[in-house]
Amino acid sequence: MKICLVLGLVAVAAFCYADARRSPKKPDFYYFPPSPPCRLVMMAAAALKVDMNMKMIDLMKGEQLTPDFLKINPQHTIPVLTHDGLTISESRAIAAYLANSRPSGEKIYPKDPKKRAMVDQMLYFDMGKLYQRFFDLYPPMMFMGASWDKEKAEKLDEAVKMLEEYLTRNKWAAGNQMTLADISLLASVSTLEAVNYDFSKYPKIMAWSENSKKMIPDYEKVNEGVMVWKTMMDKYKQDHPM
């Protein structure tokens, strides 16, 4: 009888352990809704069906500079993801981690070296050119009252033309299926759309943008923070006629 009881307890413990492994602790995600890098991760999580503990950090109130947050990320930037003792503070690295952590992730972040290289190339293009040139032009205007910078605007136009060219080669940014590269670029392009960037000369981007949005579960809800950019740009235009 005692042996049966012990074996039963062992079986229950083993079941609980296996169940715990099947249901790991959710990652904590520190974010600010309007941030394109944050929305990149949120869209990737939606595509992968990853549930995260959402912890908003209000940049407008300086919450990224509090002692508690600086312990998490000394760079005082968002987004940040913490999970099982790991802390990641770069949006594309976070998205890649989420994809690498799940069998379904290979669909949007392929393991094949050549395919992954193409995805990585476009992730770096977004980070170093498209998003960076948006960031160089618009935030100084909206947050610091800077004037329209023609040279920076031309640099941004150049990056947009590059994206249009890439999309003439494939339906998606890095090949024949949607990947993390498209999600990253969509975070940037949707922000440009919100500030009324004129994409009428770029039909490939316009079609790709619509197709990409349809592929993200609950896109409007996940990406609703983008409308803050529209509000800020409308106010800037009222105060600074262009």
Domains and CATH numbers, the chain: 25-105 (3.40.30.10), 108-239 (1.20.1050.10)
How distant is the alpha carbon of residue 163 from its chain centre? 18
Residue 117 sits at φ, ψ, to 5 deg, of -60, -40
User: What pLDDT score was predicted for residue 240?
Assistant: 79
- Considering the candidates 35, 184, 188, 209, report the single residue annotated as catalytic: 35
Please check the confidence at residue 242 and state whether its pLDDT lies above 70. Answer: no
User: What pLDDT score was predicted for residue 91?
Assistant: 98
> What CA–CA distance (Å, rounded) separates 17 from 67?
36
Report the amino acid identity of residue 42.
Answer: M
Cis ω on the peptide bond leading into residue 140 (within 30° of 0)? no
Radius of gyration of the chain (CA): 21
> What CA–CA distance (Å, rounded) separates 193 from 206?
10
- Token representation of residue 102: 């799940």
Please check the confidence at residue 21 and state whether its pLDDT lies above 50. Answer: no
Query: Which of 3-7, 168-172, 212-216 bottoms out in mean pLDDT, i.e. has the lowest?
Result: 3-7
Is residue 35 among the annotated active site residues?
yes
